[in-house]
Amino acid sequence: MEGRDLRAAYEEDLNRLKTAQRNAAVADLENTRNQALSNLEAERASNTALYNQQRSTANAQNRMNAKNFQEYLAATGRANSGLSAQARMQNANNLNTSINNLNVGEAGALADINRRSTLANDAYNSGLASANATIEANYIQNLLNERQKEWERQMQERQLQEQIRQFNENLALQRQQLYSKYSGSGGGGSSSKSSSSSGTKASNDVAISSVSSPAKWSSTKATQWYVNNNVGRLTSKNQLDSAIASGLSSGSITKDDANRIYASYGIK
């Protein structure tokens, strides 16, 4: 349950990170696009004003040229000649040509601005798609890395549990062997013979009742061992055998101490 809670919390953190990264990317891309579009709009307005001014100048210049030519014809006495009509036609053609050239130039400048506006929007969309792909890929990779770590932790935990199991199994076997060794010689031997002849010694699966500490310990160390290992409160013969085997192995009690403990439980 705890592992699932940690995994869920980790995924929530990753989702928050992904959202923050996406928001930052969008803000950066929008700022770049908006700045480019703002500059282009300013250029558009500037071009429009410039071409309007140039058209106004062309019209004014055309009117000035027509006036000067008419004054010239009047001064030479040809104001009503065919040159006057021809001049007006030529002047009108010149004006149209100038205006058309200006209109073509303006249209080209506006088309270039529109093209760059499209590029700015395309760059925003492309950048957003790329940022989303990168953020999503990082999110998935982080999830995979965390799940790999979790799997490794689980494997380590299983290995540790197996080592503990094997250790306990070996320890129990060693205790049984030590007990058999010590109970099979000296006082333990005579105790074994008594049990076999009288039939009063309990088997490994017999329940026992807690007892008070036996008197006449061989040392203070033996008394301390008895208290530390709760020997007086054991509830099964197998537990008692293991405790005594451990005490004999460590030197905390003697064989006489072991016999007194068995006797206190009524085991001969």
Residue 117 pLDDT? 94
Residue 82 pLDDT? 67
Give CA–CA dist 203/207, Å, rounded: 9
Residue 56 pLDDT? 92
Q: Looking at this protein, which amino acid is placed at residue 251?
A: G
- What does the block give as tokens for 144? 């995979």
Contacts of 161-169 with CB under 8 Å at 24 or more apart are none
* CA dihedral (120, 122, 124, 127) positive or negative: negative
Grouped pLDDT means (10 residues each) for the chain, 268 residues: 69 88 91 93 93 92 84 74 75 89 94 94 93 90 86 89 87 81 53 40 58 79 82 82 88 87 81
Largest CA distance in the chain: 168
Residue 84 pLDDT? 67
Residue 190 pLDDT? 42
Residue 57 pLDDT? 93
